[in-house]
Every structure is written in C-alpha cells, then in structure tokens.
Structure 1
Amino acid sequence: MMSSHIKAAVESMVTPYLEENGMELVDVEYVKEGSNWFLRVYVDKEGGIDIDDCGRISEYLSVKLDENDPIPAAYFLEVSSPGAERPLKKPEDYRRAVDKHVFVTTYEPVDGLKEFEGKLLSYDDTGLVIQTGKKQHSIAREKVASARLAIVF
C-alpha cells in the first residue's frame, strides 16, 4: 500500500477518537529512515497535549491498526505534539496563523525567492500574504510547498 493510502487509513481511524476527546490531527507521516519504517502521528489540542494524551492515543491507534492492518511492513508508531514549529497543512491552520511568524517554501520562485520567513498578514483560498522586513509577498496557494510556524529569537 502506498504512503498516501496508509496516511488516509490512519487519519480515518484516529480522527473520530481525537474529535471525541477535543483534539485535532495535525499530520501523519509514514517514512523510512535507514532500515526502519516510522508511522508518526502529530496531534494537538487547546493548551497542548501531554505525555498521557500521547499514550492514550497510541494505545487506541495500536488496537485499530492491529484490527485493520493497513501497513504490510514492520514499523514504529510515534504519537507526539507537532511542537513549536507546527506545520500549516489545512486552511484552518493558516487562518489561526495570521499575525504569527511563519516560514514558507515555494515550488517555484515568487518575487525571486523560494523561502519566506516573516509575519503572515492574511490567508484565503487563493493564497497568502507574508511580510518579510518592509516587503510584502503575495503567494498563490498552489505555489506553497510547505509552511510552518517559526520561532522568533
């Protein structure tokens, strides 16, 4: 089964549990590192998740994965917080990030750049606007390769 199918299967298994418990799924990764496969599930909630939340989610998801068996190879399951540099994946992630410091990469240059770090001024279905220093950059949504919150030192 391809990685995207595994991600979709895991999302459908864990999302009802998370919603019932006031949490949200941030991201799912199924990646190979060295000779090992890792299934990483990133979860968050208002006020952040703790180690007990991660343990409960891991136990729940382990049972569901054993019942449904969507992953043919051996793997390590990791459940954690997305951390301070939370990825922005869904429209609501971007909307919550307005007025916050973000780091965005693009598939192709925009204003001669492919990396932008600054304040997210706005977001809508067509794209986003980031202020870097004194300059504002309008980036079409389909040009965004990745985006995450960024820590300002």
Structure 2
Amino acid sequence: MLLQRPGIRGCRKHPWFGILPPSIEDAGKWAPAHFFVEENVMGDVDRRLWDLLEPWLEAEGVELDDLELAGQGAGRLVRVTVDAPGGIDLDRIAGLSRGLSRLLEDADVIGATYTLEVSSPGLERPLRRPSQFRKAVGREVVVKTRAEVAGSRSHRGVLAGVGEGDVLLKVDDAEVTIPLDHVTQARTVFTWEKAPKPGKRGAK
C-alpha cells in the first residue's frame, strides 16, 4: 500500500501567541452538516482505526480527541485530532504524525492510498461526539440543529449538562434541552479578553 505524505493541519504562528493549534484564523469555521457521531455506531474501519490509534497515543501521553475517515479510494483522508493538558505544539504534532504514519502503514487497516492529517482541537473546537460535549461542560458553545428547538435552530449559551441523548444549554435566563440527534453543528466559543489600557504616565 502506498502511503501518501502525512499532512499536518492547523498549527500556525500567531504574532502575539506564537504557535497555535487550528487557530484564530479558523475561528467560526464549521464542520460539514450532519457531522454528529455516535460513538457506539462507528463504522467497522472507523472502530478498528480508533482501537489501533487510541492506545498508541495514550502511551505517548496524549488523548485521541477525534477521528474522521473521509473520501473514497485514493483520495481518502484520515483526520486525527489529539489533545493533551496544556495543549500540543507544532513539533509535537509533527512527531506524532510520523509515528502514526508508521503505525497505520504496518497495520494496513485502510487498504488504500490515503493522506494523514494530524491536528489539535484549537481554540474553538468542534463538538462531534458525546465525550467531547462532556468535556465542554461549563464552557460557552454554539449549537445548530436541523429543526427548530425552543423556536430557533441556533443556540448560544453555556453548556450546563449532557444526558443520554441530549444536551442542556443555559441561554440567558432560560434553559434549553437539545436532542443530540437534532444537532448538525456544534462548537465551543473562544472569547477574546481585551487587555486593560495602560494608564497615562504620571496619572495617580
């Protein structure tokens, strides 16, 4: 099997913050509609990939945050999202990409030519799996649905809880329960905090 050169996605240098994972420039971009993944109904290849990659990444001290297999035939794309306490820098992403390339080539799970893309979740991370929603409890999120829920198909608020088949958002002074099977797009929200203006010289 021919393995294409792995692609390293998303890590850029920012003029203020240095190296960032999928980044400020990507803020506000959405994953495709109908993207929600139930972890107990993965496809056979997806499940085998997850079971192959997760223990290897855990041994490297990082978490497999998400896995997506897209495209067909020689154009297949394997997107691997990894995370770790304190984040992951560009050099770490590059090293993990090389290791994952060797692992996938030896296992030959996919059986076709593909491109590997390794990234970290970024400042505004997509929420595609129940486990990702659970990790985001307490954070501000935006959730879009295919049908109206409580009179709207777009809700922005604090993620207050995750149930068996729904999520609870606190929107202003109200609570909105959104069934997960209604979700088409969801992400966390990164809020910029303005730096305080420096005081005038000589001011008391």
Q: TM-score, normalised by structure 2?
A: 0.63
1:122 matched to 2:161: yes
- Percent identity, aligned pairs only, is 34
Matches within 5 A, 1:73-152: 73-152=112-191
Match of 1:71 in 2: 110
Cα distance, 1:107 vs. partner?
3.7
Cα distance, 1:92 vs. partner?
4.0
* Cα distance in structure 2, aligned partners of 1:139 and 1:11: 27
Higher helix share: 1
Matches within 5 A, 1:13-32: 13-32=52-71
Q: TM-score, normalised by structure 1?
A: 0.81
CA radius of gyration, larger in? 2
Greater relative contact order: 1 or 2 (C-alpha under 8 angstroms, separation 6 or more)? 2
CA contact (8 A) 1:39 1:75 kept: yes
Residue 74 of structure 1 aligns with an amino acid whose one-letter code is: T
CA deviation string 1:7-45 (max 9, x = no partner):
222211110111122211111122239x84321100001
* Cα distance in structure 2, aligned partners of 1:71 and 1:123: 33
Q: Relative to structure 1, is the Cα distance of residues 74 and 92 closer, same or farther in structure 2, using a 3 angstrom cutoff? A: closer
Between 114-123 and 75-84, report the one with greater CA deviation.
Answer: 114-123
Q: Relative to structure 1, is the Cα distance of residues 126 and 76 closer, same or farther in structure 2, using a 3 angstrom cutoff? A: closer
Helix, strand or coil at the partner of 2:110: coil
Cα distance, 1:120 vs. partner?
1.1
CA contact (8 A) 1:13 1:61 kept: no
Question: How well do the aligned residues superpose, as a CA RMSD in angstroms?
Answer: 2.5
Unaligned stretches of 5+ residues in structure 1? none
Cα distance, 1:78 vs. partner?
1.1
CA deviation string 1:44-97 (max 9, x = no partner):
011011222222222222112112212233221111101112223444432332
Match of 1:61 in 2: 100
Unaligned stretches of 5+ residues in structure 2? 1-41, 193-204
Between 45-54 and 63-72, report the one with greater CA deviation.
Answer: 63-72
* Cα distance in structure 1, aligned partners of 2:122 and 2:131: 17
